[in-house]
Chains A and B, each alone.
Chain A
């Protein structure tokens, strides 16, 4: 399996961060500890200094520097000679620590006594050694200097250095342990992020190959759940769109089949002579061709609506113009004994719209209302001014539309009654086109219906 780059990067970052933070905190701790120790040692040295300074000064006033070396050695380590002189120091409870070093130099800086013996006879030079010093004086006269040398930094094994070393070692172990924990956590976290991404990627690939039924199971962190939900939504919309496309193609070929069969039958009949070549038969062909042309035009209109390229020729025109063009509808209603009522709010004198398209909308929904009105039929067209929009409503008194069919009536080729004759019921594109045109005007179209009490189709046309 190819490891995802993201997971590796997360793991790496986590490990580096862990190690860096352990190192940083260890270093900080070391520095602070060292400072603390230096302070402690300094104050310790001061204490020793305070203890030893009067003792050495007193010794000097009694014996001078002679035998000071012995005195120091015996006092600090409890061995050597000069017991009579030792009592003084012991009395005072003076001790120095292992590794601590007392050095005494005379006024000219030459070491006269050293608990480590190394510098006797040499100038008091301690290089990088950590030390404190104090001037020795007797009766206001300077007699030399006392140095207390701390073992810190000298490389000598001391309790303090021991502690620091242990601290360093432990920190190192801690760094490795935390680094390992970070590595494991990083791998787990990386997998948690990369595996949903890998699933998503695989699903997208399948979707791209046309397997539109791909869905992700929603799991993991909420970002991934959201991403998965969005993906599923997209896939669902694609699937619906694809189904629509397929159905549309099937519907179109279905719509073409009947007129083509008729044309072919008539023409073949004329060819063989079984259908007489007379005006009636030719007219039949012609009407069929007119219907086919109309279907093509409606499909064109629908395509324009769906591609949102309907360019409107908006004009203000008198309401009377529109009503005049609805005359065929009035006549058709009369022929069918349908009462056609037109109610227009008196304030409305003009309509601003693409007149042809508005007429098309009205023709489509009025034809629908006419076909579906009850007996005796009543169809009502009302136009009202609502704020800056015109609200058109077309109501019939027919059987109404079942609630479950209501959302579908604006779909292409949708017909509530499948058995309905094509000649009678139109092609099922009318409402889809009407809705599209209303929306192209910036308006809306919707339908309300109560079974047994008829339906009302509404649409709005913004006038600004």
Chain B
């Protein structure tokens, strides 16, 4: 069964954009335009996860979060426009499972949602990412080519997971850097080349791989099937 996500966001353009992306990524999406609507929708909907904007009319995101936590431990990912609210969020320990600041990448939001769901849905079957004979167990931080475990560093694993989750898509170095290391490392795009090079050596060493990381000249890298 597909996970149900409730998106609480008052700006329609943003809400539509998020809904479109999440639907595309295989989630069942419900929307709420303000805090009150969200609180009303919650009992009937019983979502698997709530994406909650903090600055909402009627009832603020803080209030909604408080009310959710009084009743249940549904995972909540906070959307916020203000960096200073993150500190508040962490300080108050209101029980948000993750947060993401605007401007954000919808793809990153999907990744966060998946990560939180993986963490919290202990009963759900172990999810794997597959591409050719590459199998990745995200929660175990393990990648296998056939039956052979790749001896990857954490960074290499994250890069491979990112590429494997979006096979065929080209990622620029800056994009990979941002997703793997966070947005602090601007200017270190070239270091991705080193990691990719190491990653390729390990995949080659594992033998019998039917996939490869391809350099797209002038852009970056993508995961492709080996002919």
Contacts and interface: CB of A to CB of B under 8 A. Distances in A.
A279 to B, nearest CB: 4
Contacts of A359: 184
B178 A332 contact: no
Nearest to B182: A356
Q: Which interface class (under 10, 10 to 19, 20 to 34, 35 or more) fits B?
A: 20 to 34
Contacts of A356: 184
A311 B91 contact: yes
B123 interface: no
A335 B190 contact: yes
A293 B186 contact: no
Contact of B170 (A283, A290, A301, A367): A283
A294 interface: yes
Contacts of B83: 297, 300-301, 304
Interface string B83-119: 1100110110000000001010000000000000000
B46 interface: no
Nearest to A293: B103
A433 to B, nearest CB: 11
A73 to B, nearest CB: 114
Contacts, number: 83
B42 interface: no
Contacts of B178: 290
B183 A283 contact: no
Contacts of B82: 300
A397 B177 CA distance: 28
A195 B178 CA distance: 64
A294 B172 contact: no
Interface stretch (B2-10, B27-35, B133-141, B215-223): B215-223
B175 interface: yes
Which of A284, A286, A304 has the largest number of chain B CB atoms within 10 A? A286
B155 interface: yes
Interface stretch (A10-18, A242-250, A323-331): A323-331
Contact of A283 (B185, B191, B195, B220): B220
Given A297-B101, A309-B84, A327-B155, A286 B175 contact: yes
B90 A313 contact: yes
A303 to B, nearest CB: 8
Interface in A270-295: 279-280, 283-284, 286-287, 289-294
Contacts of A335: 190-191, 193-194
Contacts of B218: 280
A360 interface: yes
A296 interface: yes
Contact of A311 (B88, B184, B186): B88
B143 interface: no
A331 B219 contact: no
Contacts of A311: 84, 87-88, 90-91
B187 interface: yes
A356 B181 CA distance: 12
Nearest to A288: B174
B191 A328 contact: yes
Contact of A363 (B169, B175, B185): B185
Contacts of B183: 290, 293-294, 297
Interface string A160-175: 0000000000000000
Contacts of B175: 283, 286-287, 290
Interface of A: 279-280, 283-284, 286-287, 289-294, 296-297, 300-301, 304, 307, 309-311, 313, 327-329, 331-332, 334-335, 356, 359-360, 363, 367, 426
Closest 6 CB pairs of A and B: A311-B87, A300-B83, A331-B191, A328-B191, A328-B188, A279-B170
